[in-house]
């Protein structure tokens, strides 16, 4: 397995350089590949398509979710494509393995009332409270990914113009607008952040926008906990995370008549087909309104 581990590590370095994937994603790739090669108990050059199919079948028999198994297959495909392109293997065995058919789920999103309650929950004049308010305002008001939020630096924020420079997947940069409430929340947070910085004498080697009490950049896990914390405070019963606010942002824009291509640009989707999932959400919303409002849907007519 020593040779295999070398290939895996080189593959992870390659995709980090090419695509700029987050540490969390790279960890998932590594775990997927280790699990596959523990199952196969062979070196990459000895793998054929039957072994890959056998691994996929075992995963399904174990009761793993189709989305999880599909992700593992995607990892295996990317890995063997890398080995083939590097000339390490002569035949790519993953090319002939069929994809799983997965019914696409409609993303979960909050109502306008719940979204407002959540964002407005942090209201005290304290460092962490003002920071959390700014985080929630950006997640809902701009629809950015949690990894993009974590990566924001002070110089990425232009409060005068109301613009934010975001680094998305593959380190692709895009400029997105910040609404008035988001600007106000960031402004209040920056003022109290500066007081804390002077008081604790932070010497930042970099300038992360969102920090903890020790001056360190917040991780995506910490931001997830912040969202979960305030969801409980305002009584949102379903489990939600930062991505729920991203879905909520897109869904609410579509409901208000925003063009799908504008939403695509704001979300940083490379393909319009990814953004089109929100048209199903809007259709569901319209059906609900119809069922509640149209006279022919009433039973006692």
Among 64, 181, 243, 285, which one carries the catalytic annotation? Answer: 243
Is 247 designated active site?
no
Sign of the C-alpha dihedral computed for residues 169, 175, 181 and 186 taken in this order: positive
- Which of 145, 183, 193, 252 is labelled catalytic? 145
The set of long-range contacts for 84-91, using a CB threshold of 8 Å and a minimum separation of 24, is 88/7, 88/44, 88/45, 89/44, 89/45
Q: What angle do CA 223, 225, 226 make, to 5 degrees?
A: 65
246 catalytic, yes or no?
yes
Name the active-site residue from 16, 30, 169, 217: 169
269 is an active site residue:
yes
- In the numeric block, which tokens belong to residue 267? 């979300």
* Residues pairing with 174 in the sheet: 166
Name 100's Cβ contacts closer than 8 Å, sequence gap at least 6.
Answer: 56, 66, 69, 70, 73
Is 145 a catalytic site residue?
Answer: yes
Marked catalytic residue, from 82, 140, 230, 278: 278
Point out the catalytic residue in the list 183, 246, 247, 252.
Answer: 246
Distances from the Cα of 23 to the Cα of 10, 16, 20, 163, 241, angstroms: 15, 9, 9, 27, 18
Outline where 41-170 has alpha helix (H): 49-61, 66-85, 112-120, 127-142, 146-150
User: Long-range contacts of range 281-285, CB-CB < 8 Å, 24 or more positions apart?
Assistant: 281/106, 281/107, 281/109, 281/247, 281/251, 281/254, 282/251, 282/254, 282/255, 284/106, 285/251, 285/255
Distance CA 79, CA 130 (A): 43
Q: How far apart are CA 181 and CA 199, in angstroms?
A: 27
**Eight-state DSSP code of residue 190:** H
Give catalytic residue positions: 145, 169, 243, 246, 269, 278
């Amino acid at each position: 397995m020593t040779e295999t581990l070398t290939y895996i590590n080189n593959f992870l370095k390659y995709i980090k350089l090419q695509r700029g994937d987050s540490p969390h994603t790279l960890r998932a790739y590594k775990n997927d590949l280790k699990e596959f090669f523990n199952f196969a108990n062979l070196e990459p050059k000895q793998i054929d398509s039957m072994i890959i199919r056998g691994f996929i079948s075992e995963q399904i028999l174990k009761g793993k979710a189709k989305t999880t198994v599909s992700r593992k297959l995607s990892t295996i495909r990317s890995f063997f494509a890398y080995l083939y392109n590097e000339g390490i293997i002569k035949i790519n065995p993953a090319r002939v393995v069929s994809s799983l058919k997965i019914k696409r789920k409609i993303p979960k999103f909050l109502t306008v009332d719940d979204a407002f309650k959540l964002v407005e929950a942090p209201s005290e004049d304290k460092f962490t409270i003002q920071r959390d308010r700014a985080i929630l305002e950006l997640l809902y008001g701009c629809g950015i990914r949690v990894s993009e939020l974590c990566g924001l630096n002070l110089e990425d924020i232009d409060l005068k113009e109301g613009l934010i420079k975001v680094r998305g997947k593959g380190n692709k940069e895009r400029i997105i607008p910040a609404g008035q409430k988001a600007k106000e929340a960031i402004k209040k947070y920056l003022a109290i952040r500066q007081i804390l910085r002077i008081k604790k004498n932070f010497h930042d080697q970099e300038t992360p926008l969102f920090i903890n009490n020790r001056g360190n950049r917040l991780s995506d896990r910490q931001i997830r906990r912040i969202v979960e914390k305030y969801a409980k405070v305002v009584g949102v019963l379903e489990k939600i995370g930062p991505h729920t606010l991203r879905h909520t942002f897109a869904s609410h824009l579509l409901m208000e008549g925003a063009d799908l291509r504008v939403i695509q640009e704001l979300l940083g989707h490379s393909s319009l087909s990814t953004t089109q999932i929100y048209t199903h959400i809007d259709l569901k919303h319209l059906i609900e309104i119809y069922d509640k409002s149209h006279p022919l849907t009433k039973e006692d007519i």
